[in-house]
Amino acid sequence: MKVTVFSTKRYDRRSLTEANHDKHEFTFIQDRLRPETVALATEADAVCPFVHDIVDEEVIRTLAENDCRLIALRCAGFNNVDLEAARKYGVTVTRVPAYSPYAVAEFAVGLILSLNRKIHRAYSRVREYDFSIDGLEGFDLHGKTVGIIGTGKIGVVFAGIMKGFGCKLLAYDPYPNEEMKALGAEYVSLDDLFAQSDIISLHCPLMKQTHHIIGAEALPKLKKGVMIINTSRGGLIDADAAIEGVKERIIGALGLDVYEEEEGIFFEDHSEGIMDDDRLLRLTSFPNVLITSHQAFFTRDALANIADVTIRNLDQFEEDGKCEFSL
């Protein structure tokens, strides 16, 4: 199959090429897939977009008109794809539902440790030969209550790690997970989780029901000084509410690997320009906010798994037009 890969970085080219074994013909495009760039895929049998590509009805219609019948997402999330339009035009959409729950869960724990023990601030001080420890005080994780919103594979792995620290586990998910219960987690209402949790970590997908699950209405329900971690999707947290929560000392620490307006910002180098996103600038100005650039998934193991499943989706579609992980 001829496959046009959008939003390509060096690591995408390497991992997909290694997994492909010359079975499919790849064209790697650095730009994002969107209405202005979809013409680059006019000769393709399939396109391979990433999380920030715009796969709306216009894009899907153009792909269908050029006999491209497969959108092979190389990510788990699919909120950027108009699935109704895909069905309308007969275009199959596949994804990589799980690539490494360990990568994301471990990164979430890393954010917790960095924020709690001020590791990122200590690193900056020492590079300036400032070896004072004033202002770097943290707290023991042992005995603290950790609320986990979303108890799929990543949430369960995260819970297992936090149990190892000796934390009490609370969970919220419309579909309780027996593995989670086996770890000793107690399923509670969202309001109870907000009220009791010293740390809240988000591991749920972005959909209508979860959009701004941490928003203005949630702020008065949160335990004062709570640490909030988001390694899932940016739209789960209302950035304006987060800023207000930090200012009012309701949110004691905030770790974001994702941001609701990250499209066009994350994964790119803007160091020579001027950042015009006022909310992101405000968030980065707080000493108790740590932002990373959507890198929780970014391990060698995860990249290899993403590539392997993507190639498998392409193989299956080429063989009989069906895919195990189609949406």
Catalytic residue among 32, 52, 203, 294: 294
pLDDT digits (tens, 9 = 90+) for 31-88: 999 999 999 999 999 999 998 899 999 999 999 999 999 999 998 888 889 999 999 9
| Catalytic residue, candidates 95, 203, 233, 260 | 233
Instruction: Dig out the tokens for 47 from the structure.
Output: 């396109």
CB 274 within 8 A of CB 301: no
| pLDDT tops 80 at residue 303 | yes
Per-residue pLDDT reduced to its tens digit, 305-314: 999 999 999 9
In the predicted structure, residue 15 carries a pLDDT above the cut 80:
yes
| pLDDT beyond 80 at 268 | no
Q: Which two tokens stand for residue 244?
A: 């207000």
In whole angstroms, how far apart are CA 290 and each of 13, 85, 119, 143, 313? Answer: 30, 37, 11, 24, 36
What is the per-residue pLDDT across 158-208, written as a single tens digit (0 to 9) for each?
A: 999 999 999 999 999 999 999 999 999 999 999 999 999 999 999 998 889
Annotated active-site residue 211? The verdict is: no
Q: Which contacts (CB < 8 Å, 24+ apart) does range 55-60 have?
A: 55/80, 55/81, 55/82, 56/82, 56/85, 57/82, 57/85, 57/88, 59/33, 59/34, 59/35, 60/85, 60/86, 60/88, 60/89, 60/91
Q: Measure the CA–CA gap between 68 and 138, rounded to whole angstroms.
A: 54
Catalytic-role residue among 74, 95, 203, 262: 262
If you average pLDDT over every residue of the chain, what do you get?
94
Task: Compute the Cα dihedral for 153, 154, 157, 163 and give only its sign.
Answer: negative
Instruction: Specify the pTM.
Output: 0.86
> Structural domains in the chain?
2-99+300-320 (3.40.50.720), 101-291 (3.40.50.720)
The number of CA neighbours under 13 Å toward the Cβ of 121 is 19
Residue 288 to residue 303: CA distance in whole angstroms: 30
Asked if pLDDT for residue 275 goes beyond 90, the answer is no
233 flagged as catalytic: yes
Is-catalytic flag, 120?
no
End-to-end CA distance of the chain: 20
Residue with token string 């999707």: 233
